[in-house]
Amino acid sequence: MAKCVYCKGDVSDERTMQICDRCGSSVWGHKMFQTILQGTNSEKEKGNMELGKVGENTDAGDIQNLHKRIKDASCTSRMQKAA
* Least spacing, CB of residue 3 vs Zn ion, in Å: 9
Site track for Zn ion across 1-20, x = CB under 5 A: ---x-xx-x----------x
- The three-state secondary structure class of 29 is coil
* Least spacing, CB of residue 64 vs Zn ion, in Å: 17
One-letter identity of residue 21: D
DSSP state of 17: S
Please, which residues bridge with residue 10 across strands? Answer: 3
Check binding of 37 to Zn ion (CB under 5 A). Answer: no
- The three-state secondary structure class of 11 is strand
Note the residues at the interface with Zn ion (CB under 5 A). Answer: 4, 6-7, 9, 20, 23
